[in-house]
A and B are shown apart, each in its own frame.
Chain A
Amino acid sequence: MSDIIRRDPRAEWIARNRLHPLHASMQKAETSWMGPNGIVRKNPHVIAAGFVGPAGLKRIDRSGAQQGTVGKRSNASVEVQLPLHIIEQPAFHICVVPDMVGGRLSSHDKDLLGLARKLAGDSGAVVAVIFGEDKEGAFDTAGVDRLLRVQGDAFDGYAPEARVLALSAVESQLAPRHWLLPDSRTGGGELGRRLAAKLGERPATRVWQVAGEQAIGRAGSGQQDIQRALPRLILAAAECAEPVSDTRHEVRLLELAEKVAHSLPRVEDLGPVAVDPAQIPMAEAEFILSGGNGVKDWKMFHQAAIALGATEGASRVAVDDGFMPRNRQVGATGTWVTARVYLAVGISGAIQHLQGIGACDKVVAVNMDPGCDMIKRADLSVIGDSAAILAALMERVATWRQEGKRDAA
């Protein structure tokens, strides 16, 4: 089909003739459209006809958002494409080293990229330096103009010394105007300070506001602010700037020009140590298995928590009924949790509970009722009997553990 707009005189005639039997089906649903001569035409009758709202009342929406009448509404939900910001020849670079907790940009990282974008303006390019594999799919809307992936076995795991060497290679290649790192406990704070010591730069730490050429950061134990000229290396606190929200960026891949100097690591990573999940405070536990009214077999619930290596939590009902201690209650009246993965078994999702898990990244729900609020919040929901699903999950994890042992042997 060609794109040329052609008139259909017969259809127009039917549309004009209200007594014609096909009149109703020939009515244009749109309130405005481009006519054959390039002039925007409007149908005031459709607007005035309105539509029947959810309460059964006739509503008229003149904004043009709600088009046509019920049943004839055209569902043209077009994905809004943000404008692409292209920087062909950057005048300078702003280097950002995001934490990438769990392989994704955290909200802290996004704030930092927002700050970098602000510093880069129209002529600079924001370079994100990423170590190892990542699962992030939205670098473009986060404000990354250039992406530099540093890969290699030397940078996997905890390797701050190798990473600092890689960053100093980036320094000599790009000579960025600013280095931005998150002042976080998940790696950025340490890496930034190591880099500062290596480069001999005096960083501004815990920066929470950058205004013009001045940076304001917390000093001492947070009782004082320190205001100073903007240094080259900035370790910024969370919410230091608004994240990028209304532009897209090209995420052009950069390569390191030369291989990173290799040095024998003086700090060797021997891997994580198994910590008893019950000992971890709930507010900072990474993985929580939480049970509610739908859990009938509490013995198995505890077994599942041990098998998965999860910290136990509970909804208010489970606590009130005496199945779990009060200090395990999740929600507005209990603990506000920040888990990365929250596995809710038999919890319908009262608003107080949903508030308590507001900071969780991934929520998995196991529930009998497909219409409950927890399922609307969850990233993955399984509808079914919780006991059977927990048993199957424990079995699956057990086989996985055995396979792992066999591989290691």
Chain B
Amino acid sequence: MTDLNIVALVSVGAHPTSARPRRAEQDARAVELGLRLAGQNLQLLHAGDPQAEALRGYLGMGLEQLDVLEQPEGADALPLLVDYLQGSRTQLVLTGSQAETGEGSGMLPFLLAERLGWPMVVGLAEVEKVENGVAQVLQALPRGQRRRLKVRLPCVASVDNAAPVARQSAFGPARRGQIEAHEVTVVDDTLLAEASLQPAKPRPKRLKVIKAKTGAERMKAATAKASGGGGQILKDVSPQEGAEAIFKLLIEEGVLR
């Protein structure tokens, strides 16, 4: 555990099936990561309605207080957060990678980093150590891979589904926790004036278009078995030669490390 000043930005999520408000999955993972790093010193920050019940889900993870920058729905959270964080001594801001309600563009951490002039780390999986204001972290990559990065603090980091799974939210601490509302000036978001939200349409399945001129070609396309077409076949070679060819391909593809 380190004595970093960590702020986790949390939002109200929506259950994927029932769409009921809940703690957001990725934000909860960010809180979990923050709890592992800073314990009780982790600060929770939310921009929105302090009355939202779902926010208590984060308090139930074992924290006593949650700060809320009060603003109505459809307001822009970015300027408030920039003002708040600029004045604080925060060293690490943890967020999920995208919101579960509203636009959910995933731009907030990037814009926050740009406005604050801080570096940004995507897909934080683990903080290994912090020395002289430089953190050594592991970044989660697709296909279960990890990359080690060195980043100067203060910084903004977003977590995705590779971060540690969030602990359960307990009912008692969730009730007892304090939600502290702060009065701030509200800035409206212009997007919803020109864009419209609608229930998601199922995406059309892509059709396999066969551009065949003749009936014979169409028949061939319809009945052909899966084939790579023109794969190289090495026959009657020594095991060493065969292994060399395979080795070359593995190197070319960069899968040997």
Contact = CB atoms under 8 A, between A and B. Distances in A.
A53 B43 CA distance: 78
A174 B191 CA distance: 27
A382 B235 CA distance: 6
B interface, how many residues as a size bin? 35 or more
A155 interface: no
Interface string A349-364: 0010011001001111
A392 B239 contact: yes
B147 A158 contact: yes
Contacts of B13: 221
B232 A223 contact: no
> Looking at A220, A281, A351, A395, which has the most chain B CB atoms within 10 Å of its CB?
A220
A380 B147 contact: no
Interface residues of A, number: 93
A63 interface: yes
B146 to A, nearest CB: 4
Contacts of B142: 185-186, 284
Contacts of B234: 380-383
Contacts of A382: 234, 237, 242-243, 245-246
B185 interface: no
B105 interface: yes
Contacts of B196: 226-228
Contact of A226 (B14, B197, B242): B197
Interface of B: 13-14, 16, 19, 99-107, 110-111, 113-114, 119-123, 136, 138-139, 141-152, 155, 160, 191, 194-201, 203, 206, 209, 211, 213-217, 225-228, 231-237, 239-240, 242-247, 249-257
The 4 residue pairs across chains A and B that have the minimum distance between CB atoms: A228-B195, A392-B243, A280-B144, A382-B242
10 contacts: A61-B216, A158-B139, A158-B147, A161-B119, A205-B103, A226-B197, A271-B148, A273-B148, A341-B249, A384-B237
Interface of A: 61, 63, 65-66, 102, 135, 158, 161, 185-186, 189-190, 193-194, 196-198, 202-203, 205, 208, 216, 218-229, 239, 242, 245-246, 266-275, 279-281, 284-287, 308-310, 340-341, 343, 351, 354-355, 358, 361-364, 366, 370, 373, 375-385, 388-393, 395-397, 400
